[in-house]
Structure 1
Amino acid sequence: MLVQIHPYPDELVISMVARYHMYSGRAGVKESLRDVYGLDSVRPSLHLPSHLQRLSESGCFGVSARTLVYEHTLFPYYAPFLKPEMAAHVMNDMLSDNSLGVHLESGLVPSRVSMPTRLVTCPACIHDDIHTHGEPYWHRAHHLPGVISCPKHKVKLYDRCPTCGIPFTGLFIQELPFPVVACPNGHSLLNTEGETRPATNRIAMDSEFILNNTPTWKSLEELRDRYVNVLYAMGMATPSGSIRQRDLFERFITYFPAELWGVIGVAQPVRDQECDWLRELVRKPRKALHPLFHILLMEFLSGDVPRFFEQNRFEPFGHGPWPCLNKAATHYMQDIVRDLTVTRCTDTGRPVGTFRCECGFVYSRRGPDRTEKDRFRYGRIKEFGPVWEEKLHTLASDGRWSLRGLARELGVDPKVITARLEKQNLSNVAPNTGEQEERERRRRRFMETLRTNPRCSRSRLKQLNYRDYQWLYRHDRDWLDCILPRPIVSGVRSERRVDWAQRDREMSVFVEQIAQCILNQPGKPVRVTVGRIGRICGKKALLEKCLDKLPLTEHVLNKYVESRSEFCKRRVDWAMAELLCERTDAAPWQIIRKAGLRTPVSQELNDYIEQRLIEAVEQRDDSRGVDDASRRIS
């Protein structure tokens, strides 16, 4: 008969299965696993367990599979920082039997954050759990990456007896342990005297906040916009949204204690490194980054995560109401617009606001707004509305307005006026008598200038009668072009301004030196691209736009610039060299993880990894054979 176990608040799935095993009285772990999963080969994962649909349908815990995902796993901690489609894939893998896909798609495999491999507990929580529920259990909030203290009690978390050092569980949790109040040697585990730091306590509380609260952003693009908004207010971003990376790095590094990085298992950001996680956080989101990185950035920007949630809600167009930009309305430039719809530009990814006024005037613009002046501009007018149309009809019927005068009065281009008049069946605007007289006066004066200076060029005539020339150029250009003399075409220059052959020779040598430096630099490989070479040598525009005049340089670039496939292979070579320095062999998944490759990798790259592993084994065997032969000879 199956035992009914009721999950406790914030209890891990592995803790629920462990309690079932204890109360079921089964002789072996496999029997209990067969009860709850229908399989005896499943091992509950600490972070993102799979087979949850089976676990729910077993009837041992009385909760739905969705409740298990959101209330008893770390999925709510990772999901806000994944793209929606990726989060959906991860959740489906957790419900199904695909345990490997969960970790690959969530970004945990190539992550640069140390993941907990042992179960930990808080002595104060053990005491509270016994008082409230009659027994202790494993908490989700204690097993978040980077968390080394209890977010509730500010007490150090333990994975072993603080007195004798006996671990609570085996490495990688190969069993179903249950939290106890004393170790096998009889030492109490209720000691709460462990030392904690304010920085680690804050990370613990902020991580728990992410775990238990719904994010206030709808997409990673919106989250990145919020980062940029706050950085702009702090003077570390330009109005166009470009990040001052060096300023950000300097202030970010000084904000956190130097010893924090090793304690929480995060690599410290590196100055001027393109693939550094701090740079990637504030760039357009192209891949999943670990939640702990986001938490650290939120703390830097706002002090803590709850304040970032509440005080920095991303409003790309500020607070309403907004001004009506209808020049035909009596409320022009007044803040009366309350209807705003925000969408996202499909080309640039930037927010687009559509503002609708009660007068019928609808305009839109791209955001986010960077200055107060941005509130009073628009990108396009979507609807003019009855107030604007009526004002146009009244002015056009008056007969005293020119086309340009109407355009200035209504705040649009003259072509718009013409199109709207045709729509209103007003074929043209009544001529302005005053403007006709002005045109005739200026024509006569300019003709007199032309008559008295018959051999002058256009430029000279403009100098002699600048005011009339400019007015006619703007208002009567066709007539002016007819009466002006033919423009003088200058001869072709005999000498070239740039010696492209010399420049090509110099650039080809310079580019080759830079490419070799990139290939030979120590540490993780960096891809050789035209853009990276151009940025280093300060000639990016020249390499991108004038390469047809630099054949030698183009040849060098074709020789060194790497395709995506070539770069991936070079990363594989580097990863293998690093791993084989530490151990005698390496598995393909270890190479992929070390190289930081996206999964799943292509078949071509899989074949390359297999070939390189075969070559490494053959080389090792040959080396051993030479050593054995040398020993026999000696």
Structure 2
Amino acid sequence: MIYFPSLFPDEILYSAFSRYHRDSGNENHKLTMEDLFGDTQVCASLLFPSHLTSLCDRMPPGSLYSPEELIIYHTFLPYYALFISDKRYLEMKEIMKSGKGTSAYMQIGKPASTVKTQQGLRYCPTCVIRDREIYGEAYWHRSHQADGVFVCHYHPNALITTNVTHTKQRNKHEYVSLEIILKNEDLQYNPVPPQSFNILKFIAEQTNLLLSSSWNPLGLLKLNRFYVSKLQHMGLANHTGRIRWADLIPAFNLFFGKELLIELQSHIELSQEATWLHKLLRKPRVTCHPLRHLLVLGFLGETIESMTNQISDYKISYEPFGKGPWPCLNKAANHYKDPVISSCEITRCSKTGMPVGTFSCSCGFVYSRKGPDQSNDDRFKIGRIKNFGEVWNEKLRIISQQDISLREMSRRLGCDPKTVISRLSDSKTVISSAVDQESMRYKEEWKKLISSNSELSVTELRKLNQSAYTWLYRHDRTWLHEHSPVNRKSIKKRERINWEERDHQIAKEVQLAANEILYGKSDKLIRVTKTEIGRRIGKLPLLFKMLHKLPETAKQLNVVLETVEEFQKRRINLKAVELMNTNAIVKRWELIRVSGLRKKFIEIHHDVIDDLTVT
């Protein structure tokens, strides 16, 4: 060849070949194949063109293009690179360099994929205008031809699909340039559905990122571990990596929407058991289409860049309790809260399905807690103590012989007082000693209290030493009753109550209390209620429990008690008087405001308000 067109950014090789065919003046496409590859039988492949070594050898002298550069920047192999094995990646390169192009699609798994290649090459009308201004002509962009790309990653508009197809061609040697297509049709600007635009934009951007960078294969196992660890953080997989499909599939379909997933050939029904998502997230055995990897990344809130960074930094493990070492929470040990535990055994809670971590220290202290941890403070929480250990037990034996209370013992050991008693039950001598010492101490205190306050009742004595009374009541109630003063009230002969006289007296007190509420000097307006009257006369229980024996009092209450409406009416009149003392005219809105009336009371008392105010 004496001429080969310069390749534009993001231009697919098919586009460069179509421009060469147009500029060469060849009427027969086989002549173009002969010029490019030296073989008239080569097919016009869009995604994985072959014979690239022959192509570079036939380029004009001084050409800087190499088969490696053409593969990376102008074919679709980088689109698949991250998601296939190293061996497959190298095999694909060799196939594209050599003349075995028919096996390229088989190697990448295209025929078996359920994502069928979209018919018709696509272009962005805004890119056409931009390319003509910068490069002098429009060309087929590589990033626009990927499966699932319906919008331009650079411009906020939909791509336009042409009738130029690269599958099932009548003439499999034909190359068609974009400029030839544009001569026969006008530029169109298709709107993008707003409900799916962000997702489609994400797919387009990530597709362009895959194509515009030189990626090395990550390996199917690393990809699988990354996806599962993210699902574990989202609560859609347990600590062992078992996927909760009943939760994952509905959440996945809801995130994208059924219509969009159908359009992207990736919709999944909950009843299906061997879908592409199952194959991708279970033990990796086969490769999956890059579009579906992008869908999973979008659902997980990740990108190609964040995924590759985390995998390269080995940040793909799921650690529901963080990284070790973990602190020992044995309050009896010298290394309390120090990070000395190096291993954590993780199991599954049978009730909630959440991970449970068990931490065992060399001091014998074993505790567990339910995860995952939400903050660093969770590292210092105990869900359940499984074993106290010898260090804890020794500390218990020592402090149990000291003159301290059970509550203080439990505080020092970091447990409940009942736990101290139950743990001491293994040593009856020690427990009896500790309990007996405490019993003797409280009994002495109680005896001294009685001797120095012989005139007081049990209730009065209890207030003077609440702790001694409570301990004896719980642990030796018989002794407490035998050594307490006799209730003097039980000795006195109960006098009969003159209910008629009491009724007459209380009725007078009710009237006085009601007058005090109504006319007494108080900064706060108070409603006349049974509770308020009873509180003021000090006979609240009688008014509620014994009113059936106080007929005169009941009659008096019926006379003086105020309903809510009556109280509000009194409030309105008083506030009106206050306003009249300061204002010549009382306005309706001012009276309502100072009276603090709710809307329903304004409607009830509108006649009263209207009589006292002017509009």
TM normalised by structure 1 equals 0.48
- Highest Rg: 1 or 2? 2
